[in-house]
Amino acid sequence: MFLLNYLRLPALWLALSFFDQPPAGRFEEAARLLKPDRVFDGETMHEGWAVRVRGERIEAVGPAGSVPAAGAEVVDLKGTTLLPGLIEGHSHLLLHPYNETSWNDQVLKEPRAYRVARATVHARKTLLAGFTTVRDLGTEGADYDDVGLKQAIAQGLIPGPRMIVATRALVASGSYGPKGFSPDLDVPQGAEEADGHDRLIQAVRRQIGRGADVVKVYADYRWGLMADARPTFSLEEIRLIVETARSSGRPTAAHAATAEGMRRAILAGCETIEHGDAGTPEIFALMKEHKTALCPTLAAGDAVSQYRGWKKGVGPEPENVRQKRVTFRQALAAGVTICFGGDVGVFAHGDNARELEMMVEYGMKPLDVLRSATSVNADVFHLTDRGRIRPGLLADLVAVEGDPAQAIQAIRNVRLIMQGGKVVNN
């Protein structure tokens, strides 16, 4: 009996500690002093700095001796680098890797309740990998379910990153998928079809009204069965989408893989180009001129090539992978603003760092990659309350073992995650 009672003690202690949590008002007054080896503030690396957090905000930051410790719980993070919570720029929490289930089958055969249940797991894995915010660019056939997922996370019902959502996304009729079915069938689509002046305005307004924070448009796609990508919407149609979204304060992101699709999206005023596979020096110069950011999604193309049989590190690189290296370096040379975003969902959620590692592999300096995943994404996505470690900003913070500015792989060695001042991992 003594042994049985002894075994029950940990569970009893956890239950008592849960009910003994201080009320919300008292939590707001709680302070913590975080003492890592160094602090990356979103722009610059600082050795020997400390960060004081009170409630959900950063209260003070600077050299350890200058940040007051009085009244604060000291959190020793020796051996770590403290960074702003990472911002994933291109995610699909309602998708899972295509080598598990094809995109067609996810859209057509998986019940939406099942997809949402999976998404809650994806959200938790993303947060525990140190990504405290995601821009989720389309539900891929799951209508407006990203809005509900965002609300559940915001209300603390489930753990996950803060979400910027695009809901259904916009495609030109006949261009998207699923594909491969009889033309006599009307197959449910992975995004909302709309064309022409009135229907496009209505579709943009409908998505915004249902909760979209950003409008996503497919400026090009593969017409027909596995055909090469070609432009979809005209320049005038994309401009109409952008203007309608902008009137409500929403930005527009454009899926664009072809040079002409990119050109139209840039000239129309889209704020980000997703993918940009076939960009040219001329197109990247145009992006620089118009201050259009590129979200290159290197990891997605790499993953899909492996799903199709490429043995990475053994066989020669497929042409699409080789070409992506070239265009990414052209974008860097042109001085284009680079967003971090991997198109995660094509590959496993929680493995978001795969894109960061590939950005370095393809020629970007590790410190610039860290900026891309923090302050740059915050600026491009209009997130004025995060992305940097400064007094007054949200205490969304992550501590990793080692120095990711020297070896980007250190970003995977997560020791502490804080979201709104609350520690969300052990």
Residue 236 has pLDDT above 80, yes or no: yes
Mean pLDDT of 211-235: 92
Q: What pLDDT, on a 0 to 100 scale, did the predictor assign at position 226?
A: 65
- CA-based nearest residue to 269, from 245, 298, 233: 245
Q: Under a CB-based contact definition with an 8 Å cutoff, are residues 336 and 372 in contact?
A: no
How far, in Å, CA of 77 to CA of 416, rounded?
8
How far, in Å, CA of 50 to CA of 64, rounded?
5
How far, in Å, CA of 147 to CA of 210, rounded?
8
Q: Higher-confidence residue: 243 or 183?
A: 243
Mean pLDDT of 225-247: 93
pLDDT digits (tens, 9 = 90+) for 27-54: 446 899 999 999 999 999 999 999 999 9
Radius of gyration for the alpha carbons in the chain, expressed in angstroms and rounded: 23
How far, in Å, CA of 274 to CA of 269, rounded?
14
How far, in Å, CA of 305 to CA of 41, rounded?
36
| Burial zone of 30 (CB within 10 Å; 0-12 exposed, 13-18 middle, 19+ buried) | middle
End-to-end CA distance of the chain: 32
113: tokens are 């309740």
Band (426; pLDDT cuts 50, 70, 90):
low
Per-residue DSSP letter, 421: T
How far, in Å, CA of 363 to CA of 365, rounded?
7
> Would you tell me which CATH number, out of the four given (3.90.700.10, 3.50.50.60, 3.20.20.140, 1.10.1520.10), belongs to the domain 86-380?
3.20.20.140
Q: Higher-confidence residue: 8 or 362?
A: 362
pLDDT digits (tens, 9 = 90+) for 151-173: 999 999 999 999 999 999 999 99
Q: How many CB atoms lie within 10 A of CB 187?
A: 15
All CATH 2.30.40.10 domain ranges of the chain, comma separated, are: 23-84+388-423
- What amino acid is encoded at 46 in this protein? H
How far, in Å, CA of 254 to CA of 219, rounded?
6
Q: What pLDDT, on a 0 to 100 scale, did the predictor assign at position 315?
A: 84
| Burial zone of 38 (CB within 10 Å; 0-12 exposed, 13-18 middle, 19+ buried) | middle
- CA-based nearest residue to 129, from 155, 164, 154, 160: 160
Mean pLDDT of 189-193: 96
What b-and-e string marks burial along 252-273, b requiring 16 or more CB atoms within 10 Å of the CB?
A: bbbbbbbbbbbbbbbebbbbbb
Q: Under a CB-based contact definition with an 8 Å cutoff, are residues 251 and 237 in contact?
A: no
Mean pLDDT of 334-353: 98
Q: What are the helix and strand counts (H, E) for the chain?
A: 14, 19
Provide the mean pLDDT of the chain: 93
All CATH 3.20.20.140 domain ranges of the chain, comma separated, are: 86-380
Q: What pLDDT, on a 0 to 100 scale, did the predictor assign at position 26?
A: 42
Band (23; pLDDT cuts 50, 70, 90):
very low
Mean pLDDT of 379-392: 98
Residue 187 has pLDDT above 80, yes or no: yes
For 299, the 3-state DSSP assignment is helix
- What amino acid is encoded at 262 in this protein? M
Q: What pLDDT, on a 0 to 100 scale, did the predictor assign at position 354?
A: 98
Most distant pair of Cα atoms in the chain: their distance: 78
Q: Under a CB-based contact definition with an 8 Å cutoff, are residues 372 and 359 in contact?
A: yes
Domain 23-84+388-423 has CATH 2.60.130.10: no
How far, in Å, CA of 346 to CA of 320, rounded?
16
DSSP-assigned letters across all residues of 200-251: HHHHHHHHHHTT-SSEEEESEEE-SSSPPEEE-S-HHHHHHHHHHHHTTT--
Mean pLDDT of 357-384: 98
Lowest mean pLDDT segment, chosen from 117-131, 179-193, 194-208, 294-308: 179-193
- Could you tell me which residues come within 8 angstroms of residue 152 by beta carbon, excluding any fewer than 6 positions away? 120, 158, 160
What b-and-e string marks burial along 132-144, b requiring 16 or more CB atoms within 10 Å of the CB?
A: bbbbbbbbbbbeb
* Residue that has been written with the tokens 């967003």 in this structure: 339
